[in-house]
Amino acid sequence: MQIVETIKQVRQIIALQKKRGKRIGFVPTMGALHQGHLSLIRLAKKHSDFVVVSIFVNPTQFGPKEDYKKYPRNLKKDAALCQSAGADLIFSPNVKEVYSKGFSTFINVEGLTQGLCGASRPGHFRGVATVVSKLLNIVQPDAAVFGQKDAQQLAVIRQMTKDLDLPIKIIGAPIVRERDGLAMSSRNAYLTLEERAEAPALYRALQLAVSMVKSGKREADSVKREMAKLLYRDAPLGEIDYIEIVDNEALKPVKQVKKNTLIALAMNFPSARLIDNIIGA
C-alpha cells in the first residue's frame, strides 16, 4: 500500500492501474478511522480491483464554531487500519494541494441541503459537495462508497453525480454500530463518560419509531413526539437539534411513515454533535 500527497502522484498511479484494466474503488474520509470506515473499504474492495482511500480534513465543510482545528488526525494509525482492510492507496493531501491560492469555485446542491443537518450547519454541504467533486475528479473511480449514517450527505452526493453526469457508481454502506447501538463516528471519541453512557439513546429512539410503525402507528408527528420523550428522559445532557421523518430520496417531510421513509435525528451534547438514522418499516 502506498501513501501519496499530491494530485499528480495519484493520477499517475491510477492511470497505470486503469491501463492494466483495473476497476478503481474510492472511499473518501477525513481520517480518525474506525470499523465503520473499514467496512466502507471492504465494500469498495468487492466492487473494484484497486481501492483508493482519501484522508483529508476538509476545512470548507466546517462552520466557524465547529471542530476543524481539534478534529483528530493520526495518519500512521489510519494507514495501518486502511492496510488491514485491503486499501491499495492512500491520498493524504494538505489543504493547499486541494484548495490552491485563489480557489473560488464551489458546488451547491439545491433542495436536498435545506433541511436536516443543512438547517443548522449552513454552508456545510456546499463544502462537502465541493471537496467530493474535486476528489472524484482527481481519482476518477468506477465506484465510490459512502456510509448510510450520513444519509443526507449520501443523497447529496448521488444527486450531484447525477446532475453533473459523472460516470461513477455511488454505493451506500450500512451503518456500523457499537454493541450498545451507538452509530460509529469519529466524534464519539469527544464524548465524556457521562455523555457516552447517554448516547445510545439515539438508536433507542430510532428503534422506538420502527416499533411504533410496525404496530400501525404511522403518523409522523406522533412518532416524533414519542422519540423526543425518550431522548429527553434518557439523554438529559444532550439537546435535540432535530427529529425528522422524510422521504429517503427527496428528503421532504412526510405525514405518514411508509416504506423507504428516512427517520433521522441529531443531538448536541456538550462535547460532540451526534447524528443517526434508520429506514422506516
Residues sharing a CB contact under 8 Å with residue 269, sequence separation 6 or more, in sequence order: 191, 195, 198, 199, 235, 237, 238, 239
Task: Give the C-alpha separation, 203 to 198, whole Å.
Answer: 11
Question: Cell numbers 468506477 correspond to what residue?
Answer: 142
Task: Give the C-alpha separation, 223 to 243, whole Å.
Answer: 10
Burial of residue 100 (CB within 10 Å: 0-12, 13-18, 19+) is: exposed
Task: Give the C-alpha separation, 28 to 145, whole Å.
Answer: 8
Residue from 251, 240, 274, 261 nearest 114 by CA: 251
CB contact at 8 A, 237 and 194: yes
CB contact at 8 A, 144 and 136: yes
Instruction: Determine whether 37 is an active site residue.
Output: yes
Q: Which residues are catalytic?
A: 37
